Amino acid sequence: MSAPPTWDQYMAPALTVLSDGEVHRARDICNAAADLLEVSAEERLQTIPSGQLRYQNRSLWALSYLARAGAAERPVRGQYRITDAGRQLLASHPDGITEKNLRAFVGDPDASHTYYALKALEGTTHDANGAGTTPEKTAELDPIEQIDLGIERIHATVAGDLLSRLHAGDPAFFEQAVLDLIMAMGYGGAEGTATRTQLSNDGGIDGIVDQDALGLSRIYVQAKRYALDASIGRPEIQAFVGALHGNQANQGVFITTARFSKGARDYADSVPTRVVLIDGTRLAALMIRYGVGVQVKQTVQIVEVDEDFFE
């Protein structure tokens, strides 16, 4: 009996289903792709430990990666449509799209927000030559390492989604999300507060975190939704430092969905005022770590033999 199709084997059939240019529901795409792959009725009943059907899980991952790579788009939640780039990808690989093909299709991670598409595909484990972990190398990992690698890839996928959602929302929502994160990290203490300033007259400060009930210690925050592939330079950080001085403040946090240039980071390190720069990569990682904008979907327990019991 042959092995069931892997998640990447679902990519070409999924794009084939979408090639009519219409918007399709994810479940319909999964079923149609399974038909093209000739997945048997028996295989369609197989489940993964969470209880989800294996073929649906794998086909949904394929759709997720295709959307992240720009080969498909999601006009509304749970529905997909092929893009022009997706048509080109399918035309280039009509007999099947591999994970390696998709990485090559995504392109330069520094050129756009597709950084997270590559990171989700490759994981964050690299060998001595800097190469990403391939399926062949994954087989060489012990079970715990494979779990860790899987979690890293899931986090990379969620991180990309978080930044896309934050960038698509309105400025007020982003600023409040940033303040929620700072409070979740423990700043503000038991009696502290976080206040978002008025959008029309914020003076270069988007939020203020009082770390004590009297407001004697404050953190000033600037939160900017720049394009995910943008680079924030020194002038923006200089303006933020000027806003801090205008408020007689000696510490501030500049948080963005984009990234900072070397000049911006060097300037922040050189001024007496304590300025912490948090780019999109670190922002997403912190939101996942402190549970802001995410929820736990599944908890995995790893057991070992209790030696004391047998002694």
pLDDT for position 140 = 58
Return the pLDDT at 120. 56
Residue 300 CB contacts under 8 Å (≥ 6 apart), including other chains: 147
pLDDT of residue 12: 95
- Residue keyed to tokens 């004391």: 308
Rounded to an integer, the average pLDDT of 272-277 is: 93
> In this predicted structure, what is the pLDDT of residue 227?
81
Q: Average pLDDT of 277-281?
A: 92
Q: What is the pLDDT of residues 58-83, one digit of tens each?
A: 999 899 889 888 899 988 888 999 99
Q: Which of 152, 148, 164 is nearest to 114 (CA)?
A: 164
Higher pLDDT, 177 or 214: 177
Per the model's pLDDT, the better-predicted residue between 190 and 100 turns out to be 100
pLDDT in tens, 112-149: 344 555 555 554 333 333 344 444 445 556 777 778 87
Other Cβ atoms less than 10 A from the Cβ of 216: the count is 8
- Residue 284 CA to residue 55 CA, distance in Å, equals 29
Domain parsing of the chain, residue ranges: 1-106, 171-289
Listed ranges 129-138, 190-199, 221-230; the one with the highest mean pLDDT: 221-230
In angstroms, the Cα distances linking 104 to 57, 118, 152, 162 are 24, 9, 21, 24
As a whole number of angstroms, the distance between CA 243 and CA 248 comes to: 9
Q: What is the average per-residue pLDDT within 28-53?
A: 90
169/131 Cα distance (integer angstroms): 35
- Containing H/E element for 51? none
Structure confidence by residue, pLDDT tens digits, 248-257: 888 899 999 9
CATH class of the structural domain 171-289? alpha beta
CA–CA dist 293, 72 (Å, integer): 24
DSSP secondary-structure letter at 258? S
Tell me the CATH number for domain 1-106: 1.10.10.10
Share of the chain above pLDDT 70, in %: 83
